[in-house]
Structure 1
Amino acid sequence: MNVFDRNINIDALLRFSQISHSTQVHLKNVYSSLALSMIVAAAGAYVHVVTRLFEGGVLSLLGSVGLMFWLAMTPHNPETEKKRLAILAGFAFLTGVGLGPTLDFVIAVNPSIVVTAFLGTSVIFVCFTLSALYAKRRSYLFLGGTLMSGLSVLFLFSVMNMFFGSLMLFKAHMYLGLLIMCGFVLFDTQLIIEKAENGDKDYIWHCVDLFLDFVTIFRKLMIILAMNDKEKKKERK
């Protein structure tokens, strides 16, 4: 029997039997909002890098945090849906602007790293998302405590490096942070599913969790690739 003659059932691959229909509809809304947020964030990054109308820094960070709190404080209902989507768009735009300084650094090293990092982030995000969707329900929720502990370690690394200025410590922070954020994609995806199954259908706020995961992975991957590229250039000299 020729294994290559077998037909691949795409519908079966896309069927998540352990997830209810209403939750699958909710996930479609979450990922649609995520796609919109990524487009708006890209526009914010473009505005910083190309037009320089907005500068990424403390103001953009404070603005994005303020909009995130505004979104969290605005109740989820049909009457506020458009308002909350507008707040989400503003949050995504300022987050994109906030990526500006990192993009400036990476572009100065090698502009192609930006595309490579985005493609790499997309692959990582899709793979870990599918792992969470196809896995048994709640199977990755145990990671919550470990991931929060990992964030505490990262904070400790940051504080220590303020005094030591160690390149090795900074690299450890980047690689460990990348690993932890991959874990958060698994955790947040399954947590969103559980919340939706229990009646929490706030797809806009759930989108924020995944959006921050994506942006953080993208930022760390850009920095790691840029650092490795700089080291290779030094070795060639």
Structure 2
Amino acid sequence: MDTAFSSFFESTQSGSRWNSFKNFNQISPVVQSHLKQVYLSLCCALVASATGVYLHLLWNIGGILTTFAMIGCMAWMLSTPLFEERKRVALLMAAALFEGASIGPLIDLAIQIDPSILITAFVGTGLAFACFSAAAMVARRREYLYLGGLLSSGLSMLLWLHFASSIFGGSTALFKFELYFGLLVFVGYIVVDTQDIIEKAHFGDLDYVKHALTLFTDFVAVFVRILIIMVSHNAPRFLSFY
């Protein structure tokens, strides 16, 4: 995966970097229109998620119940027929709102430590998401799809490590490995999922609500890990005041 990412950045630094953007021509107008809907829905989902965070800060509603509600809304949306478009969009926004409420405690902690951490983490996530999505768009079709198997294996490894540490206890080193390795895995998913969405759209799968949910999940996963890393680096300074 690192080789694939490094090859992209090396190509952008060469004399033909501007020629790489001609690859946008391989995306048909129909697919381009679909991507606009996907990213517009993603932006609306992020706004809904921010609303969920705000509601948690007001009423402390985030927790296990909002997590189950988020999972329920996602499952309901995925099982809803495509022709019920408004209902599916509403369920996507509801899932995003509950997701925001669920990560509200972490964001509340970050605000208590240093509010600038939250802004830095969000901007960093946005830049990473934009760069890797653009990398997937300007690359040749299917170029990064082979990474899907490696990322799935990495995700399975993370799940088993988390399961083992919850039963047998974990160390700080294991926690940091899960954190940084998980960040690498989900950054990779941004590239793979973007190309997968483009490829599916070329073959007629224009379910922009489902595709927006996929990218929203990737965005939140990267944001949470970046925020935890920044909080863990600043927490000792915060705890020293008490």
More off after superposition, 226-235 vs 195-204 = 226-235
Are 1:47 and 2:52 matched, yes or no? no
TM-fit CA distance, 1:81 = 1.3
Distance 2:190 2:107 in 1: 23
Equivalent residue runs for 1:1-237 within 5 Å:
16-49=24-57, 51-52=58-59, 55-77=61-83, 80-162=84-166, 163-231=168-236
Q: How far did residue 159 of structure 1 move?
A: 2.2
How far apart are the structure 1 equivalents of 2:89 and 2:73?
Answer: 11
Structure 1 residues 94 and 233: alpha-carbon distance in aligned structure 2, compared to 1, 3 A threshold: closer
Amino-acid identity (%)? 42
What TM-score, normalized by structure 1, do the two folds share?
0.88
State the 1:232 CA deviation: 5.8
Aligned to 2:231, the other structure's residue is in SS state: helix
Distance 1:233 1:86 in 2: 39
Structure 1: runs of 5 or more not aligned: 1-9
After superposition, what is the alpha-carbon deviation per residue over 1:169-211, rounded to whole angstroms, capped at 9, x for unaligned? 1111110000000000000000001110111100011000000
What is the aligned partner in structure 2 of residue 3 from structure 1? none
SS in 1 for 2:26: coil
Query: What is the match of residue 6 of structure 1?
Result: none
Q: 1:4 aligns to what?
A: none
User: How far does residue 109 in structure 1 lie from its aligned partner after superposition?
Assistant: 2.3
**Number of equivalent positions:** 223
Length-normalised TM-score, structure 2: 0.87
Say if 2:113 and 2:238, in contact at 8 Å, map to a contact too: no
Q: Which runs of 5+ in 2 are unaligned?
A: 1-17
Ranges of 4+ aligned residues in structure 1 off by more than 4 Å: 12-15, 231-235
Query: Structure 1, residues 109-134: CA drift from partner, whole Å, max 9, x if none?
Result: 22211111000000100000000000
Aligned equivalents of 1:185 and 1:227: distance in 2? 24
Alpha-carbon distance in 1 for matches of 2:237, 2:62: 29
Cα RMSD after superposing both structures: 2.1
Kindly provide the CA deviation profile for residues 60-114 of structure 1, in whole angstroms up to 9, marking residues without a partner as x: 011011110111111112xx11111111111111111111121122223222111
Deviations 1:117-175 (A, max 9, x none): 00000010000000000000000100111001001111122123222331111111110
8 Å Cα contact 2:190-2:215 kept in structure 1:
yes
Q: CA deviation at 1:15?
A: 7.0
Distance (Å, rounded) in 2 between the aligned partners of 1:88 and 1:94: 10
